[in-house]
């Protein structure tokens, strides 16, 4: 399958540098990056499916209430 993707010029330049250094095509560099991103998305979805709001509340109830440090205030 072939698709066209618009990328910033600087990103494309860096990809061509990487491709040359690794002796592969720019297509391989971008396909690899997309594959990594899709895998990470799938991993996060699977991890999120194991959680629940009730579990979150149970964990949060174990934390003592405290005012944030001055540097952490908005």
Query: In the prediction, which pLDDT does 11 show?
Result: 97
If we measure between CA atoms, which residue out of 39, 25, 15 comes closest to residue 7? 15
pLDDT digit string (tens) for 20-60? 999 999 999 999 999 999 999 999 999 999 989 999 999 99
With a cut of 90, say whether residue 1 has pLDDT above it.
Answer: no
Q: How far is CA 13 from CA 6, 29, 35, 38, 45, in A?
A: 13, 12, 20, 23, 32
For 57, the enclosing helix (H) or strand (E) is helix 53-60
Query: In the prediction, which pLDDT does 74 show?
Result: 86
Flag whether the pTM goes above 0.85.
Answer: no
């Amino acid at each position: 399958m072939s698709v066209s993707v618009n990328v910033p010029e600087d990103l494309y330049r860096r990809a061509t540098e990487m491709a040359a250094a690794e002796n592969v095509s720019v297509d391989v560099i971008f396909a690899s990056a997309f594959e990594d991103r899709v895998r990470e998305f799938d991993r996060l979805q699977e991890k999120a499916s194991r959680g629940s709001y009730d579990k979150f509340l149970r964990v949060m109830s174990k934390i003592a209430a405290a005012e944030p440090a001055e540097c952490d205030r908005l």
